Amino acid sequence: MLIFIIGYFAGVIAGVSPCILPILPVVLVGWSAPVVDEANAKRLRQRRSLAVVAGLVLSFSLITALGSIILSSLGLPQNLLRNIGIVLLFLFGLGLIFPKLGEFIERPFLRLTGTAPTGTKSGFVLGLGLGLVFVPCAGPVLAAVSVLGARHHASVASVLLAFFFGFGVATPLLAIALAGDRLVARNRSLSTRTRRLRPVAGALLIAMALAVTFNLVATLQRDIPGYTTSLQHLIEGNSFASSQLRQLQGQHNTGSLIACENQAAAGAMAKLGLCGNAPEFSGISAWLNTPTGQALTMQELRGKVVLIDFWTNSCINCQRTLPHVEAWYQRYHKYGLEIVGVEAPEFAFEHVVSNVQAAAQALGVKYPVAVDDNLSTWNSYSNQYWPAEYLVDAQGVVRHVSYGEGNYGADEGFIRDLLQQTSPSITLPPPTRLPNLTPTGQLSAESYLGTDRSQYLQNGTMNDGAPQNFTLPTSVQSGLYALGGSWTPSPQSILANAKAQLNLHFFAKDVYLVLGGKGTVTETLNGLPLKVTRVSGIPTLYTLVNQQTAHDGILGLSFSPGIRAYDFTFG
């Protein structure tokens, strides 16, 4: 029963995530109906709002758990249900704009019940249509249900889990729908003009349908930070939930790979490890971006560093990660890095290879993509996340696992380390400098200070071996640091000279910095004096900030000459 409770709260988190925002206008105006009994307007508005949300939960839960199975067994295209949802949104939108058409749409429900039209039953059908196009932000719970459905291994437990997740999503949606009704009820002018407001609601429905049709919803979702990520990890990423979800999916991998995955889920895999041999690609239905669609194998890729990126084209978290993955491919491919994007479909329409190909082209994906239609490779890795990165060394051993957004600087550092280990004589180009747009709802990413991995430096660039003067900017962007005074950079660290300063904009409870040499570091936090740290001897990890809870803050550091700083980590 505990896993169903976890499923419910995972749904609640999804119901307040940025992925829910595109459907909020539709839910908020769910009280609109083509025909309304004005004498009982408030009661009917509430019933219709409830019906819209109930229809959404029912269709979303069933389609997520069983949609692919039903469509495949009937020989129907995997796009069908999504297209039906788009058509329903169009029809109901037109019905609200044109009353005669609205009465025509309502007529079948009148015949079925023999009662006066209230809009409740048509609202339920509208909710069914909305559920067919609803794509929430996925975590391990939704991943488990989707995987079982995609592999045609759905069970009573997975269907129930889908419904608990759906009920969780419904909780904030119901609150929003009823808040819309209260707004109308309290505003007398709005209440008397609800019939005239229906065309506005209709236009919103049509706009929603067009946005889904042309994939404009994803653009909106990408631009909004994933502010629920850390909460999602807390509810779904703990060891109990991971174990139960693996059992549900029939994943029986044990040993070093599972141990690394558990560390990654807890956000604790902070260095390269030995996670066992990388499983072979299996069950791949199509290969994209390879010569004539040729298949790749892990055996053939021996001798290269390989980054395996599990993603799916509707996953907004994946889309926000892709620019970094693409930049790594462009920067390091000729130095021995191969990236394979394993497209593991979450929803039925993502099983269509042409959809995957179009999405990859639109998102600028140039590296090979394996369409894992039956999620066989996903299951071989016992994966539970979109996105998920598995970094494999030249001997075919998984060395690092990373889940979700963020940690780009550390991940790129690991890629560089393995490339250097594979070919010690190569000279790698500077690291990529894409800004980390991961929201500050989770800990700041590990930030290296040497020239090899200085992508989080806000002001200027660094050159090895020569003193440089920096000027501190008036403000530092979240997740970045800035230098002031004189510093001598080297590949792994920076050496403080005269008037050396550093300002760091972080989000964390604890801030650590590896320091070496001899001298003092004077600290301020948000402009107020904090403490003086005395540094002596070989490089050691020093605790600079220790708080009760995670906060956003500006850490100011002033260094005496001769101190060497290596990298920040956060807790």
Cα–Cα distance between 280 and 290 in angstroms, integer? Answer: 17
Kindly tell me if the per-residue pLDDT of 53 is higher than 90: no
The pLDDT of residue 333 = 94
The residue ranking higher by pLDDT, 278 or 54, is 278
Among the four given CATH numbers 3.40.50.10800, 2.160.20.10, 2.60.120.260, 1.10.10.10, the one describing domain 447-570:
2.60.120.260
- pLDDT mean across residues, the chain: 78
For residue 114, what pLDDT band results from cuts at 50, 70 and 90?
A: very low
Q: Note the pLDDT tens digit of each residue in 493-505.
A: 899 999 999 999 9
The residue ranking higher by pLDDT, 59 or 558, is 558
Strands 337-343 and 305-311: parallel
Strands 500-525 and 468-470: unpaired
Kindly tell me if the per-residue pLDDT of 116 is higher than 90: no
The pLDDT of residue 34 = 46
Q: State the distance between the two ends of the chain, measured CA to CA, in whole angstroms.
A: 32
Kindly tell me if the per-residue pLDDT of 486 is higher than 90: yes
Q: Note the pLDDT tens digit of each residue in 227-281.
A: 566 666 667 766 677 677 767 766 655 567 887 887 777 666 778 888 889 999 9
DSSP letters spanning 141-186: HHHHHHHHHHTT---HHHHHHHHHHHHHHHHHHHHHHHHHHHHHHH
Across the range 26-31, mean pLDDT stands at 60
Kindly tell me if the per-residue pLDDT of 137 is higher than 70: no
The pLDDT of residue 119 = 54
Cα–Cα distance between 559 and 417 in angstroms, integer? Answer: 29
The residue ranking higher by pLDDT, 101 or 148, is 101
Phi, psi of 286 (to 5 degrees): -160, 150
The residue ranking higher by pLDDT, 206 or 485, is 485
Strands 500-525 and 481-489: antiparallel
Q: Note the pLDDT tens digit of each residue in 313-362.
A: 767 677 778 888 999 999 999 999 999 999 988 766 677 788 888 888 87
Hey, what amino acid is at 87? Answer: V
Kindly tell me if the per-residue pLDDT of 415 is higher than 90: yes
Q: What own/partner pairs with CB < 8 Å and gap ≥ 24 does 218-221 have?
A: 218/314, 218/316, 218/319, 220/21, 220/22, 221/18, 221/19, 221/21, 221/22, 221/316, 221/319
The pLDDT of residue 147 = 61
The pLDDT of residue 436 = 57
Q: Cα dist. 105→90, 121, 233, 247 in Å?
A: 12, 11, 43, 45
Token pair, residue 535, equals 């540094």
For residue 566, what pLDDT band results from cuts at 50, 70 and 90?
A: confident
Token pair, residue 102, equals 């609205």
Kindly tell me if the per-residue pLDDT of 184 is higher than 70: no
The alpha-carbon radius of gyration of the chain (Å, integer) is 27
Domain 253-422 class, CATH top level: alpha beta
Share of the chain above pLDDT 70, in %: 72
Kindly tell me if the per-residue pLDDT of 100 is higher than 60: yes
User: What are the residue boundaries of the structural domains of the chain, listed by start?
Assistant: 2-222, 253-422, 447-570
Q: What is the phi-psi region of residue 519: left when phi exceeds 0, alpha when psi lies from -120 to 50, beta otherwise?
A: left
Helices (H) and strands (E) in the chain, counts: 19, 13
Instruction: Give the helix, strand, coil percentages of the chain, each rounded to 5.
Output: 45, 20, 30
- Helices 316-332, 408-422: axis angle to 10 degrees equals 30
Q: Note the pLDDT tens digit of each residue in 509-527.
A: 888 887 888 999 999 999 9
Q: Note the pLDDT tens digit of each residue in 533-564.
A: 998 876 777 889 888 888 889 999 999 999 98
